[in-house]
Amino acid sequence: GDSVTQMEGPVTLSEEAFLTINCTYTATGYPSLFWYVQYPGEGLQLLLKATKADDKGSNKGFEATYRKETTSFHLEKGSVQVSDSAVYFCALSDGGSGSRLTFGEGTQLTVNP
Amino acid sequence: NAGVTQTPKFRILKIGQSMTLQCTQDMNHNYMYWYRQDPGMGLKLIYYSVGAGITDKGEVPNGYNVSRSTTEDFPLRLELAAPSQTSVYFCASSYEGPGGRNEQFFGPGTRLTVL
């Protein structure tokens, strides 16, 4: 079945540091890939997505590129802020639909001033 | 729009008790979902619905029941609560079809403890 693997956390960075959170997936067909963010005490929010190979999703300074050859969708940000502290989830939807998301375990990010 | 709302926010149950977690969305979305999130884990799909009157099992349906009598509401029922059901429960909705954006919108969650 489908699966998503994220780098183990938690991750602690200083403000303005570079962020990478690794995500690899296993799926049949051509899935859509997503990054969701969960701020403390809140539900998940879509951060960015990519629906086909080589697509780059971007939002709020975050980027991720759909790499079919390495089955990866790593999240990056050039300069993190304290307000980026949250849990980040990589997810996939097989067949390109928003239904039946498969989530990774989540990565806790803490950014210190 | 309020988006996806869930009640209650917190609940403590004794083993064997039953309860219903409420979920309502006001975005006229056709798809709705229930997930559970255990500590340090990703979300697992419990049940989902593709429209009023249609529901289907997800990855971890045992111990739960759902119904979808209207587009707006998708309650989750726990009949005989067990400690293994201690978790945070999230409801979500999405529009699937022409013009859909492949995005699920999540409620704020219900934190359930079974003692």
* Residue A86: closest CA among A106, A102, A105, A66: A106
Q: With beta carbons under 8 A apart, name residues in chain A contacting B4.
A: 43
For the cut 90, the answer to whether the pLDDT of residue B42 exceeds it is no
Q: Work out the percent of chain B whose per-residue pLDDT is above 70.
A: 96
- Cβ within 8 Å, pair A98-B42: no
Distance, in Å, from the CA atom of B36 to the CA atom of B45, rounded to the nearest integer, reads 7
Look at residue A7 in the predicted model and tell me its pLDDT.
Answer: 82
Query: Measured between CB atoms, which of B4, B45, B103 is closest to A100?
Result: B45
Contacts for B51 with CB less than 8 Å, ≥ 6 apart: B30, B31, B68, B71
For residue B30, list its beta bridge partners.
none
**Beta-ladder partners of B112:** B11, B87
CA distance A17 to chain B (A): 25
Please give the average per-residue pLDDT across B20-30, as a whole number. Answer: 96
- pLDDT at position B102 is 66
Whether residue B107 has pLDDT greater than 60 = yes
Out of A41, A46, A106, closest to residue B42 by CB: A106
**Rounded mean pLDDT of A78-93?**
95
Indicate if the pLDDT at residue B111 is higher than 90: yes
The answer to whether the Cβ–Cβ distance between A98 and B4 falls below 8 Å is no
pLDDT band of B96, cuts 50, 70, 90: confident
Q: Is A113 within 8 Å of chain B by CB?
A: no
pLDDT given for residue B55 in this prediction: 94
Answer whether the bond into residue A10 is a cis peptide, omega within 30°: yes
Q: Read off the DSSP letter of residue B100.
A: -
pLDDT of residue B63: 96
CA distance B111 to B36: 10
Q: Give the whole-angstrom CA distance, residue A76 versus residue B91.
A: 28
* Partner B contacted by A101 (CB < 8 A): yes
> Among candidates B88, B58, B54, which has minimal Cα distance to B74?
B54
- The predicted-structure confidence for A50-79, as pLDDT tens digits, reads as follows 988 999 999 999 999 999 999 999 999 999
Chain centroid to CA A101: 13
Write out pLDDT tens, residues A12-42: 999 999 999 999 999 987 888 999 999 988 8
